């Protein structure tokens, strides 16, 4: 675990050192849980967004995109339930003065029981060697059983408290924390305040004169911009059910427990798609979208063992199914994307609050009804984090050398090709620039002449550039260059005119998409 935390710290400093992610307002010592993307980060982020957008909008005939404003009519957030219920249950430790999410403290405690079980299993495996039967061991070992029983009991109690009639049972959450003897990780004490609710929406004012101004919210999700445009898009696009509307945009949440780098930010970006379906078909569509989204993730080649679904314990009252796609981050399996079957809750609420009829006329059955919705919602920044974490490697090379390399999928890499003249003279720089000038129309290329070739390779490895090309004296005679592959570090001599065809297909987003059905 400690080693994993170490790796995570290294990834954070790597992101800063190589222009991926900077703390916001860095020269003013930063702003909590807000980050800026640097010269390489913005390219990687744009590629992630492209990969999502092209998959959703280009490959699905019945999905279209929109780009709605961040500011919206304040009643929208009443209708959606965010004004009354977009709360986190918070608890403070009086000694450390630190504030925590009560639900997160309890979830961490459940994870501790699982860790204890895993430790017993590891011991068993060591003791019994080849004859070890993990399933039987888990089912019979007294310490495994005891911890599983504790975890399950806690799980049940937690679920009951979160799903209590009306809203979350705050007193019960505190009692669970006390009964489980959960301590503050900073002070180590159990000196807790009561649990209370905290709304996560940022408020601001629209309108110049104070008396004429009205309070509005920075949107905490992009989805509502889609719901309130359902009629506009359906009518103007003459869309037939089932159809989807996709959107990428900023969202804002005043997160209290802001930690783990860009995993939990106060300003972040979401890629959301609402898929409108005929009532009664939603659970089939929920299953379909689970499969499609998982395939999208796995097409990046990070290994299926690094993903899992986590079905929700606490279903919102309007949802009839919900799951998270979790990815194996250095700090455990964590949510990257949520897939929710939201019934007709949002459209019905907006119909009620706006007084407009929001329905679909089904030409096949001659009926009017409010469509049901399957939502897929993924954080760009969390996706970015999972990509960087998986790509990062400190590699031991033969001969005792080491290198830090980002094994980014080529289609997501910020720069696809770096072109180096071997020396800064004899016409080599001119030839190298000629290559860049030709290829830059097709993919992202850079020219580099500073330092030894070896150092230049290392710099490109560190930002995940899949290909480097070196122009040497022979190039001027034979029209060939040395093409070096980031992952294998193998070099081959290729003709300049073949470079585009050798590289373009491998680094393009369509190449990733073609791997998907």
Q: Which residues bind ligand ATP (CB under 6 A)?
A: 221, 253, 255, 264-265, 268, 270, 335-338, 377-379, 381-382
11 or 419, CB closer to ligand ATP? Answer: 11
- Taking the complex as a whole, the smallest distance from the CB of residue 33 to ligand ATP amounts, in Å, to 8
Tell me how far apart the alpha carbons of residues 4 and 57 are, in angstroms, rounded to a whole number.
37
Vertex 281, ends 277 and 283: CA angle to 5°?
105
Q: Which helix (H) or strand (E) holds 89?
A: strand 87-92
- Taking the complex as a whole, the smallest distance from the CB of residue 324 to ligand ATP amounts, in Å, to 7
Q: Is the bond preceding 226 in cis, omega lying within 30 degrees of 0?
A: no
293 or 350, CB closer to ligand ATP? Answer: 293
- Taking the complex as a whole, the smallest distance from the CB of residue 172 to ligand ATP amounts, in Å, to 20
Tell me how far apart the alpha carbons of residues 455 and 31 are, in angstroms, rounded to a whole number.
34
282 or 381, CB closer to ligand ATP? Answer: 381
Contact of 71 with 216, CB cutoff 8 Å: yes
Q: In sequence order, which residues have a C-beta less than 8 Å from that of residue 401 and are 6 or more positions away?
A: none
- Please give the DSSP secondary-structure letter assigned to residue 392: E
- Taking the complex as a whole, the smallest distance from the CB of residue 11 to ligand ATP amounts, in Å, to 16
- Taking the complex as a whole, the smallest distance from the CB of residue 256 to ligand ATP amounts, in Å, to 10
169 or 221, CB closer to ligand ATP? Answer: 221
297 or 484, CB closer to ligand ATP? Answer: 297
43 or 337, CB closer to ligand ATP? Answer: 337
- Taking the complex as a whole, the smallest distance from the CB of residue 496 to ligand ATP amounts, in Å, to 43
- Taking the complex as a whole, the smallest distance from the CB of residue 381 to ligand ATP amounts, in Å, to 5
The SS3 of residue 449 is coil
Tell me how far apart the alpha carbons of residues 196 and 89 are, in angstroms, rounded to a whole number.
5
Residue nearest to ligand ATP (CB): 379
- Taking the complex as a whole, the smallest distance from the CB of residue 72 to ligand ATP amounts, in Å, to 17
Torsion of CA 147, 150, 156, 162, to 10 degrees: -100
Residue at token pair 């490109």 = 460
- Taking the complex as a whole, the smallest distance from the CB of residue 50 to ligand ATP amounts, in Å, to 18
46 or 260, CB closer to ligand ATP? Answer: 260
Computed from CA positions of residues 264, 267, 269, 272, in that sequence, does the dihedral angle turn out positive or negative? positive
The SS3 of residue 506 is helix
> Packing angle between helix 2-17 and helix 380-391, nearest 10 degrees?
110
Q: For residue 168, which of 282, 231, 110, 85 has the smallest C-alpha distance? A: 85
Tokens (6 digits) for 297:
């993730």
40 or 270, CB closer to ligand ATP? Answer: 270
Counted residue by residue, the chain has a size of 517
- Taking the complex as a whole, the smallest distance from the CB of residue 345 to ligand ATP amounts, in Å, to 15
268 or 392, CB closer to ligand ATP? Answer: 268
Torsion of CA 306, 307, 313, 316, to 10 degrees: 140
Torsion of CA 463, 468, 470, 471, to 10 degrees: -110
- Taking the complex as a whole, the smallest distance from the CB of residue 342 to ligand ATP amounts, in Å, to 11
Q: What is the 3-state secondary structure (H, E, C) of 298-367?
A: HCCCCCHHHEEEEECCCCCCCCCEEEEEEEEECCEEEEEEEEEECCCHHHHHHHHHHCCCCCEEECCCCE
252 or 443, CB closer to ligand ATP? Answer: 252
Tell me how far apart the alpha carbons of residues 252 and 201 are, in angstroms, rounded to a whole number.
7
262 or 481, CB closer to ligand ATP? Answer: 262
- Taking the complex as a whole, the smallest distance from the CB of residue 221 to ligand ATP amounts, in Å, to 6
220 or 421, CB closer to ligand ATP? Answer: 220
Q: For residue 462, which of 388, 356, 381 has the smallest C-alpha distance? A: 388
């Amino acid at each position: 675990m400690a080693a994993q935390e170490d790796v995570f710290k290294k990834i954070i400093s790597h992101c800063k050192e190589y222009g991926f992610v900077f703390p916001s307002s860095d020269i003013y010592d930063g702003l909590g849980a807000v980050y800026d993307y640097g010269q390489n980060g913005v390219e990687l982020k744009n590629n992630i967004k492209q990969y999502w957008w092209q998959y959703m909008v280009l490959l699905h005939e019945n999905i279209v995109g929109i780009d709605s404003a961040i500011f919206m009519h304040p009643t929208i957030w009443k209708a959606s339930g965010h004004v009354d219920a977009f709360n986190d249950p918070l608890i403070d430790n009086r000694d450390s003065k630190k504030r925590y999410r009560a639900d997160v403290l309890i979830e961490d405690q459940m994870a501790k029981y699982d860790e204890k079980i895993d430790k017993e299993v590891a011991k068993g495996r060591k003791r019994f060697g080849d004859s070890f039967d993990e399933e039987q061991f888990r089912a019979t070992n007294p310490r495994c059983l005891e911890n599983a029983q504790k975890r399950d009991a806690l799980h049940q109690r937690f679920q009951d408290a979160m799903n209590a009639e009306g809203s979350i049972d705050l007193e019960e959450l505190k009692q669970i924390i006390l009964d489980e003897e959960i301590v503050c990780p900073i002070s180590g004490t159990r000196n807790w305040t009561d649990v209370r609710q905290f709304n996560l929406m940022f408020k601001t004012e629209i309108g110049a004169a104070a008396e004429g101004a009205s309070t509005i919210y920075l949107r905490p999700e992009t989805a509502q911009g889609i719901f309130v445009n359902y009629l506009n898009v359906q009518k103007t696009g003459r869309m037939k059910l089932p159809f989807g509307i996709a959107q990428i945009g900023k969202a804002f949440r005043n997160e209290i427990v802001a930690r783990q780098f860009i995993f939990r930010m106060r300003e972040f970006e979401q890629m959301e798609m609402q898929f409108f379906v005929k009532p009664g078909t939603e659970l089939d569509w929920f299953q379909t979208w689970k499969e499609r989204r998982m395939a999208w993730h796995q097409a990046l080649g990070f290994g299926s063992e690094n993903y899992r679904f986590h079905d929700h314990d606490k279903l919102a009252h309007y949802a009839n199914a919900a799951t998270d796609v979790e990815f194996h981050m250095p700090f455990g399996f964590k949510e990257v994307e949520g897939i929710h079957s939201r019934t007709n809750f949002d459209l019905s609420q907006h119909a009620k609050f706006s007084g407009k009829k929001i329905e679909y006329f089904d030409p096949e059955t001659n009926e009017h009804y409010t469509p049901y919705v399957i939502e897929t919602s993924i954080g760009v920044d969390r996706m970015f984090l999972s990509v960087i974490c998986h790509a990062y490697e400190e590699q031991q090379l033969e001969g005792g050398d080491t290198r830090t390399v980002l094994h980014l999928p080529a289609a997501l890499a910020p720069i696809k090709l770096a072109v180096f003249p071997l020396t800064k003279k004899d016409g080599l720089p001119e030839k190298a620039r000629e290559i860049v000038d030709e290829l830059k129309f097709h993919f992202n290329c850079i020219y580099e002449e500073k330092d030894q070739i070896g150092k230049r390779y290392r710099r490109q490895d560190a930002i995940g550039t899949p290909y480097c090309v070196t122009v040497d004296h022979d190039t001027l005679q034979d029209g060939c260059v040395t093409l070096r592959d980031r992952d294998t570090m193998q070099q081959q001599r290729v003709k300049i005119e073949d470079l585009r065809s050798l590289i373009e297909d491998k680094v393009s987003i369509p190449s990733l998409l073609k791997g998907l059905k």
